[in-house]
Chains A and B, each alone.
Chain A
Amino acid sequence: MKAKEAGMSLIVKRITKITVSLIFLFGVYIVLHGHLTPGGGFAGGVIIALSFIHLVLAFGKEIALKKFSESAASLTESLGGLMFLGVGLLGLLGGYFFLNILPHGKTFDLFSSGIIVLCNIAIFLKVGAGLFSIFIAMAILKIPLEDNQENK
């Protein structure tokens, strides 16, 4: 029986090597400029997850799992959630929950408004790692194509 090669054809693999890094960079740009241009944490996180899924679809899941294994994804997601909660609780020092206590710069700088950049980064870690875990769980599951057991 012919050995099945994982992933898609050669043209797709060549193009994927170029475009995956571009998609990743674009996603990071959208997350970091979340308070200046439209975008924010959610859309950027989904774009980052899409870049990893692109890698899995083109190369097969073994090679992609070497770059970002499942336990690392789970760790990243928990870290993002805890960071969001921690940043929120830090506002308790100022007065009430989620107060914006880090210094505000001028309006159109990159690091201007205090808490928003950190919140965006926390959300992006959480959404990206979570959606990647969902896709890996669906890719690993194999449905048996023939019925071996007796029917009821």
Chain B
Amino acid sequence: MIELHLILFLMIIGAVVAMEIEDLLSSIIALGAVGMGLTLEFLLLRAPDLAITQLVVEILSLIILIKATVSVDIQAKKTRTNPYYFIFALLFVAVFLWFSYKAVVQLPAFGQPLMKMGGQYIAEAAKKTSAANIVAAIILDFRGYDTLGEATILFTSVIGVLAVLRKTGRKK
């Protein structure tokens, strides 16, 4: 398990870099590095479906972000931040971390999940659907309704982008 923690450590360093650098293009590339680290983590946790999807979605979101940033004027000047924001944000994050730590120790130990539904899905997938990929059988056959909801969300987001980015020809 040492490599899981190692890659997580690298992702944390990448996230801090993406946050603090003033240049916008470099911080977007650092976000890409965090995404690639996440792909490696998914491979180490034995989820190949998710690794493929995360890799291509990461590349596409990098392309969209760079497309929007390069065509505008990149300027990031350092203004004086209000110190109240800083202290309140740190306080909020500290309280959140404390509560989440108390919640996480109640979960089952790392490596032994209680697989009530998962065990049933694995046992029935070969008989009922005769598909070899269990994850694909779950999202398309046992829980196909959720996939319909996701297709609707994608459709809505495409409509939203096309409605926002219309050519302005109305009033000049």
Contacts and interface: CB of A to CB of B under 8 A. Distances in A.
A34 B151 contact: no
B133 A81 contact: no
A30 B151 CA distance: 19
Nearest to A134: B161
B154 A137 contact: no
A105 B161 contact: no
B60 A35 contact: no
Given A85-B148, A119-B140, A100 B52 contact: no
Contact of B140 (A120, A140, A145): A120
- Describe B's contact surface by its main secondary structure: helix
A23 to B, nearest CB: 11
Contacts, number: 130
A107 B132 contact: yes
Contact of B60 (A30, A50, A100, A107): A50
B67 A34 contact: no
Interface residues of A, number: 51
Contacts of B167: 140-141
A95 interface: no
19 contacts: A43-B52, A43-B53, A46-B57, A50-B59, A81-B155, A107-B132, A113-B131, A115-B140, A119-B140, A126-B154, A130-B157, A133-B161, A133-B162, A134-B64, A134-B161, A138-B64, A138-B165, A141-B165, A145-B73
Interface residues of B, number: 43
The 4 nearest A-B residue pairs measured at CB: A38-B48, A35-B131, A113-B131, A98-B144
B1 to A, nearest CB: 23
Contact of B49 (A39, A112, A126, A142): A39
Given A77-B155, A107-B126, A116-B140, A43 B56 contact: yes
A42 B50 CA distance: 10
Interface string A25-41: 00000100011111110
A113 B129 CA distance: 6
Contacts of B130: 104-107, 112-113
Given A46-B57, A123-B151, 20 more contacts: A34-B136, A35-B136, A38-B52, A40-B49, A46-B56, A46-B60, A77-B155, A98-B141, A100-B129, A107-B130, A107-B131, A113-B130, A113-B131, A116-B129, A126-B154, A133-B162, A135-B63, A139-B67, A141-B165, A149-B172
A134 B67 contact: no
Interface string B124-164: 00101111110111011100110110010011011001100
B68 interface: yes
B139 A40 contact: yes
Nearest to A104: B130
A55 interface: no
A47 to B, nearest CB: 6
